[in-house]
């Protein structure tokens, strides 16, 4: 009897690897973005025989660093924001990517191609208003500041980032010149002076869900906002409008933590996520732009109209300058915090 059991156990132990399913742990920020990734990437990829284990986080780079330093990496593919993608690569937290296993660099937006991270989607911080309440639509960032032309409160994210850029554009600086001006002492002074003009009319927001709520409630007439939040509100029946020129766009990236257990399988997943057909499905589920430019051809005019990457919306946009904010961000944020309490 024991011999029979032993024989069965041995047979089973040899048989198990043949039936063991490949698993990948994929990490993102949750919410509507996670739901869109599930439909566009997770569910179709699982049909290839790999089980996706989804994990949500709030962008804590410290978690990745702890895993890498202790050599106990349990995450395979992680979505990170652009400053973390750059900093993590410099610090050796991420694997260098082999693009021959991902796709042709020529098919991707130039900003999507970096040593350690490939851009998965484009999102934008823009100006928005309520189409049901505002009869005089804004035509410039100067209008955002002009409370005589468009009376009412303005919603702005509580921080230096984006606001200083918008202030300079309101003061007549072209999007292409914003960071060149802001990098100078006089330019920073000019931006804060312009913000001071608007200060009595600003209602600050800190969470991404707040600006659409402000607009719907009529608390503000114009607000800065993440474009995906406007899309989500409109899918629920709202009539919120975006003013695209001068919007500041940025990318989120896919990275592989250094020492991840399934590097080759992770590259296969990233290659799948970067294919135009899959990126098109993602864009149909949330208004964030594909980074594979070939995905745009299969999207309807209605979907394209809401994406930061459409030719019309991207024409006068400003790319968030990661390098600038890495160098000067700490000092500018401290100055902003002091200015905001005055």
Same domain, 204 and 107: no
Same domain, 181 and 328: yes
Q: Is residue 8 part of a domain?
A: no
Q: Is residue 210 part of a domain?
A: yes
> What averages of pLDDT result for each successive group of 10 residues across the chain (342 residues)?
43 46 91 90 97 92 96 97 91 97 96 97 97 94 98 96 97 96 98 98 91 97 94 92 96 97 97 98 95 94 91 91 88 96 92
Same domain, 209 and 335: yes
Same domain, 152 and 242: yes
Q: Is residue 5 part of a domain?
A: no
DSSP tag of 141: H
Same domain, 161 and 223: yes
pLDDT at 209: 84
Whole-model pTM: value is 0.81
Number of separate domains in the chain: 2
Q: Is residue 4 part of a domain?
A: no
Q: Is residue 38 part of a domain?
A: yes
pLDDT at 13: 43
Q: Is residue 186 part of a domain?
A: yes
Residue range of the domain that includes 303: 20-121+251-314
Q: Is residue 72 part of a domain?
A: yes
Same domain, 59 and 152: no
Same domain, 216 and 335: yes
pLDDT at 311: 84
Q: Is residue 3 part of a domain?
A: no
Same domain, 154 and 278: no
pLDDT at 213: 96
CATH number of domain containing 57:
3.40.190.10
Same domain, 190 and 309: no
């Amino acid at each position: 009897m024991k011999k029979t059991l032993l024989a069965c156990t041995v047979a089973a132990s040899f048989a198990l690897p043949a039936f063991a399913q490949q698993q990948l742990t994929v990490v993102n920020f949750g919410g509507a973005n996670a739901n869109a990734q599930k439909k566009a990437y997770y569910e179709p990829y699982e049909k290839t025989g790999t089980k996706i284990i989804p994990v949500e986080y709030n962008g804590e780079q410290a978690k990745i660093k702890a895993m890498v330093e202790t050599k106990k990496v349990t995450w395979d593919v992680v979505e990170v924001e652009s400053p973390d993608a750059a900093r993590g690569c410099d610090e050796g937290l991420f694997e260098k990517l082999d693009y021959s296993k991902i796709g042709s660099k020529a098919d991707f937006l130039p900003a999507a191609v970096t040593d350690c991270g490939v851009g998965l989607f484009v999102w934008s911080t823009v100006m928005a208003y309520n189409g049901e309440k505002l009869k005089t639509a804004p035509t410039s960032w100067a209008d955002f500041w002009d409370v005589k032309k468009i009376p009412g409160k303005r919603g702005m994210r509580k921080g230096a980032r984006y606001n200083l850029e918008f202030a300079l554009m309101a003061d007549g600086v072209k999007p292409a010149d914003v960071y060149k001006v802001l990098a100078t002492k006089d330019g920073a002074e000019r931006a804060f002076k312009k913000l001071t003009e608007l200060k009595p009319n600003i209602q600050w927001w800190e969470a991404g869900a707040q600006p659409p709520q402000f607009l719907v409630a009529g608390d503000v007439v114009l607000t800065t906002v993440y474009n995906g939040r406007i899309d989500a509100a409109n899918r629920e029946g709202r009539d919120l409008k975006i003013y695209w020129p001068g919007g500041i766009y940025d990318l989120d990236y896919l990275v592989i933590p250094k020492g991840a257990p399934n590097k080759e399988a992770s590259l296969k997943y990233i290659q799948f996520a970067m294919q135009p057909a899959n990126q098109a499905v993602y864009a149909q589920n949330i208004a964030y732009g594909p980074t594979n430019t070939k995905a745009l051809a299969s999207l309807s005019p209605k979907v394209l109209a809401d994406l930061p990457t459409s030719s019309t919306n991207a024409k006068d946009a400003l790319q968030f300058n990661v390098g600038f904010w890495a160098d000067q961000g700490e000092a500018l944020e401290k100055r902003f915090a002091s200015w905001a309490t005055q």
